[in-house]
Structure 1
């Protein structure tokens, strides 16, 4: 290696070393994040918390034995994604997860219009996706992710 290349490599390593964190430092960051998320969830500390949190009212989470087809929706920014997730037993008893998805660009009028306009567009996208995958008449569990805060007052409000 030429001296100039060696010097450049050394300089890059020196700069990168400033960004490397020890495990102890990462654990400190983790504890601080957990503390701020807890503060963000508590009514009495929510306003001054550095990480704002809103309760989800989710009553249960997957426990690992779920199988079948699931529909996942992700709305954020200027795109909307519809995904079919197939979970089940694969070959030789191995767990299998396969996905098919499609991205849809959200038109300006749906983004800036009424909630009804946005959800009408979302419904059209879901219908299109289900048509393409011949699943229009199948009942599917559905998860919906919004990439922006939503105040949720209760499980159904």
Structure 2
């Protein structure tokens, strides 16, 4: 019984009802293998320049060409945008191979009107919240590197340039699709008078790099929400998507 592991307190009739609903989520080994093969085919299509536009799995390059080695240190700002609210973090990294990380963060809401307004409204709101966070942390006069996690389908053309393909998750902001979201954020931050050094990272690059240390190297990172995001470190020889790009 699938429900037998859920709770020892379930009566037989309750367990049968639970099994009835859980059974439709139980996949055979044959079905799982077929799904795996289909997924692999779509990954291969995503890596090919000619078939990438029609691939279900886009395999978009991140232009992150190395992983942390444990010597990184300093203070960093991070923005995590992916839903009706977003998080701002102050991350303090101690180097010397210890990988000691201290974080302070705050969550800010995104009003419905902003989610369905213009792109400038959204990024101006983010800049206002960032200014508020810096004031509360007592670091408004510091110029810190800023990592931007933007959890929407994007075509990244270099490390700090990423063009929004389409909105998801209920966002309907005008003037953003087809444009570089990093430039839009920088424009709003500059208008607000906030000091920053802005960079960009896609959603799954962050957990993957967060797992890396000199003693432990993971090849994949993933996030399961209303969408599935996956990242992997691979040789550029496996993809044709870099052929028209300059790597420095």
After the TM superposition, list the runs of 4 or more consecutive aligned residues in structure 1 that deviate by more than 6 angstroms: 6-9, 18-21, 26-32
Superposed displacement of residue 33, structure 1: 5.0
Matches within 5 A, 1:72-91: 72-88=78-94
Report what 2:64 is aligned to.
Answer: 58
Contact preservation (8 Å) 1:41, 1:52: yes
Report what 2:110 is aligned to.
Answer: 106
User: Could you tell me the TM-score, scaled by structure 2's length?
Assistant: 0.48
SS at match of 1:73: strand
Report what 1:129 is aligned to.
Answer: 133
**Bigger relative contact order (CA 8 A; separation at least 6):** 1
Q: Is the deviation greater in 125-134 or in 53-62?
A: 53-62
Partner Cα distance (1:134, 1:38) in 2: 48
Aligned length in residues: 151
Asked if residue 40 in structure 1 is aligned to residue 46 in structure 2, the reply is yes
Superposed displacement of residue 132, structure 1: 0.7
Superposed displacement of residue 106, structure 1: 0.5
1:47-88: CA deviation from partner (whole Å, max 9, x where unpaired): 343312322233444332101111111111211110111111
Structure 2: 5+ residue runs without aligned partners? 1-7, 162-248
Partner Cα distance (2:56, 2:73) in 1: 38
Q: Whose helix proportion is higher, 1 or 2? A: 1
